[in-house]
Structure 1
Amino acid sequence: MATKLRPVDPAADPLDDLSLPGWLYQDPEFFVAEQRAFLRAAPQVVCHESEIAAPGEWRSLDYLGESIIVIRGDDGEVRAFTNVCRHRGSRLVDGSGGCVRVLTCPYHGWSYARDGKLVGVPHRREYPGLETERLGLVPVPLERWHGFLFVTLEPGGPSVAEMMGPFEEEVTPYRFEELRAIGRVTLRPRPLNWKTIADNYSDGLHIPIGHPGLTRLFGRGYKIEAHAEVDRMEGDLVEQPSANPSERAYQHLLPEAEHLPVSHRRKWLYYKLWPNVAFDIYPDQVDFMQFLPVSSTETVIREISYALPDERREMRAARYLNWRINRRVNAEDTELITRVQQGMASPTYQPGPLGTSEVCLRSFAQKLRRLIPEARLDQPPPSGWTQRSARAS
């Protein structure tokens, strides 16, 4: 018998008090539905403008099976294209970044200028009537936000500027436009559904249980907020010296960031943009983190750190200690969310209750159920439901 969607009472949805069912964290068809509903329209950060300051410098991003190149042209403009030759579809470049005079396909030698125009075709006489002006690289929508460059595969979602608009006043003093990379992009493949990682990022209740270091740094003052398109989290460093040497040294050595308001000079601030991009904002540096879905049970965590130029020894030490502290936090999170992913695969798991303080998880679940009604089901619909829903739409 076909499973039916539960009726919704617009006055009070009983599912608001429940987390999402476990099948959503492992079902391949639901992953297809997510791509169609919002993942392809979600802005994805590629890099900071300072990383491609000179003409020909480029960075790449692999997302949902598509490879995107962001490159600075000879005119100084930054553009985004799919990493696909218009001749036979070969990838043009490999790796995460570089600098080129022209983008030359390694398969047949077709070449493209830094603005994406087709400028070189070997054996040109073999293509009578070839309209080179129509065979430039395929452009991808690009958004600049405070120095960071975002791309989207499809239209339909809110821009980063729209999502972060309510926090403009808070973000501006951090001078994102002046940031410079202090590390390299790291890619951490994980055998996890992207939502397992995203849920954990905005979960406040696990901090005192799973992160003793953060608890020593923040005490019980960690706060979370759920907004329309953004989750906001924060913790203020306590004055009580930590028993951990790295944490205690960070508390002691962190210098004054005089460009920040006093309220934020010892604050760790986090923003998670719907659905899978996050910014970790510290007084000493700024990191971005993406949860790049690969399949229903595979995700790549992509991240890099940036900072304002500051040669103070205390600041250099604080940034190193920040890395040490958060390396431990990442290891703790990896263990925690792996356990969750394993438990979600059990047929005995039923959606658990959400506490009144779990506002970010509530917001996430509500949004997912609204965008994909099948998320309201306790079990997956009969096989092929995504194809049927596509035909119906």
Structure 2
Amino acid sequence: MLAPDAGDFHPDAERSYTLPGAFYFDPEYYAQELRHIFQRTWQYVCHTSTLAIEGAYRVCDIGEQSVLVLHGQDGQLRAFHNVCQHRAHRLLEGCGQLRGAITCPYHAWRYDHAGGLLSARHSCDVAGFDSGRAHLATVRLEVMCGLVFVNLDPGALPLASQLDGLEAQLRSFSPTPEALYHSYSHTYGIQANWKVSVENYSECYHCPGCHPSLSQQTLDLSSYRIDLHPGFHAHLSADQGERQGYATNPDAPRTGEFGAWYVWPNLCIEVYPGGYMNLLHHVPLGPQRCEQRVQWFTQGPHPDTEEQAVIDFVAVVREEDLPLCESVQKGLHSHGYSGGRLMVDASRSGFSEHAVHDIQKRVLAALAGNGARDA
């Protein structure tokens, strides 16, 4: 394992500089992150509304690992490693609905919805063929607030213990998120490391100059704060009242407030004033490449006029962030940059970068061998 050189990073956020640039482009650091962070943490897959019918499935790739999530014939959601137990062909791609068994496209081995082998052609002619050894390998799956998560680590702590308190906070803004519909998606490709994307999300020091609409028509930056919890960060703020940039639903709970939650390591959940829920999934695709996968959840299967106005409003903010992240990624290679002072104040104001420090501390701990399970 490549020993991490933390530079002038300090455990005390008020004394710390950022991690060195190599953490954001070195292929070996990236490989370690896949092994020690992404293969040991709860990873978001989808909303239960997209798996509502029997046979519905979705494939989720976590680095080089692929997971298949399936709504089985018995009504249960299960997750399996997406690989045939014969010659390692991937079983399924993307998402869809099975009309029968899981059938490998290569040699047509067939599996039931619980992962058991139904048939392997000519297996009766193979001496000692043991169908019991051909069961699909299972992956842990848990659901919180209608959000489906998987974890490749069989020894990981339960999702609820990592995110203690998050469900209550989220439900105070959106009481029944599992009843919402996944109504809109968009993916942004970014030429930047996943941490650049996540860290950009985790501070509003840049908001006044880079996000004028967000700062002037959504968030009240004088009340904005980021509270750190063991497995997540809570971003909370009042809205802009009459200056709000879109119409809000007056019957929604906590109208007049904005709530967002960063879930370690790469998921962000947002509830905008009016009860509109949005997910931003930061998916690593390489040392210097990631995707921001945006998903919106609304009261019906298609956004109404009011909901579409919110989606369009927030898209402006997302597009403002893309060149910022890509410019940072380029700058991290500069021989003139050795790490910058994190702007962390004692009051942890809305402009403080203490959440960025917390993310970097978690990454450093995982790469140093202290693991990501309990982060």
TM-score tier, shorter chain, comes to 0.7 to 0.9
Structure 2 counterpart SS, 1:305: strand
| Residues 94, 39 of structure 1: alpha-carbon distance in 2 compared, 3 angstrom cutoff | closer
| Residues 347, 157 of structure 1: alpha-carbon distance in 2 compared, 3 angstrom cutoff | farther
Q: Structure 1 residue 160 and structure 2 residue 159: aligned? A: yes
Where do 1:238-257 residues align within 5 Å? 238-241=240-243, 247=245, 250=246, 253-257=247-251
Q: Structure 1 residue 370 and structure 2 residue 365: aligned? A: yes
Where do 1:43-192 residues align within 5 Å? 43-173=42-172, 174=174, 175-184=176-185, 186-192=186-192
| Residues 296, 79 of structure 1: alpha-carbon distance in 2 compared, 3 angstrom cutoff | same
Deviations 1:95-148 (A, max 9, x none): 233333111111111111112111121223332222212212111111111221
Equivalent in 258, 268, 286 of residue 268 of structure 1: 258
Residue 8 of structure 1 deviates from its aligned partner by 11
Structure 2 counterpart SS, 1:372: helix
TM-score by length of 1: 0.83
Aligned counterpart, 2:284: 293
What CA distance in whole angstroms lies between the structure 1 residues aligned with 2:338 and 2:13? 15
Equivalent in 228, 233, 236 of residue 234 of structure 1: 236
What CA distance in whole angstroms lies between the structure 1 residues aligned with 2:368 and 2:113? 43
Residue 86 of structure 1 deviates from its aligned partner by 0.9
| Residues 257, 60 of structure 1: alpha-carbon distance in 2 compared, 3 angstrom cutoff | farther
What CA distance in whole angstroms lies between the structure 2 residues aligned with 1:279 and 1:14? 24
Structure 1 counterpart SS, 2:29: helix
Give percent identity, aligned residues only.
27
Structure 1 counterpart SS, 2:165: helix
Residue 50 of structure 1 deviates from its aligned partner by 2.3
- How many residue pairs align between the two structures? 357
Structure 2 gaps, min length 5:
345-351, 370-375
Residue 206 of structure 1 deviates from its aligned partner by 0.9
CA contact (8 A) 1:163 1:273 kept: no
CA contact (8 A) 2:239 2:257 kept: yes
Matched residue type, 1:112: Y
Matched residue type, 1:257: D
Q: Structure 1 residue 201 and structure 2 residue 192: aligned? A: no
Deviations 1:245-273 (A, max 9, x none): xx2xx1xx322234x2xxx2132211111
Deviations 1:177-225 (A, max 9, x none): 21221124x4333221110001011012011111001011224333222
Structure 1 counterpart SS, 2:138: coil
CA contact (8 A) 2:4 2:364 kept: no
CA contact (8 A) 1:284 1:318 kept: no
Where do 1:239-388 residues align within 5 Å? 239-241=241-243, 247=245, 250=246, 253-258=247-252, 260=253, 264-282=254-272, 283-309=274-300, 316-356=304-344, 357-373=352-368
CA contact (8 A) 1:16 1:362 kept: no
Aligned counterpart, 1:384: none
CA contact (8 A) 1:60 1:97 kept: no
What CA distance in whole angstroms lies between the structure 2 residues aligned with 1:177 and 1:207? 31
Aligned counterpart, 1:383: none
What CA distance in whole angstroms lies between the structure 2 residues aligned with 1:9 and 1:202? 18
Structure 1 gaps, min length 5:
375-393
Q: Which has the higher helix share?
A: 1
What CA distance in whole angstroms lies between the structure 2 residues aligned with 1:22 and 1:15? 20
What CA distance in whole angstroms lies between the structure 2 residues aligned with 1:363 and 1:21? 15
RMSD: 2.8
TM-score by length of 2: 0.87
Larger radius of gyration: 1
Residue 334 of structure 1 deviates from its aligned partner by 0.2
Matched residue type, 1:349: Y
Deviations 1:319-354 (A, max 9, x none): 111111111111100011111111011122111111
Residue 364 of structure 1 deviates from its aligned partner by 1.6
What CA distance in whole angstroms lies between the structure 2 residues aligned with 1:207 and 1:22? 23
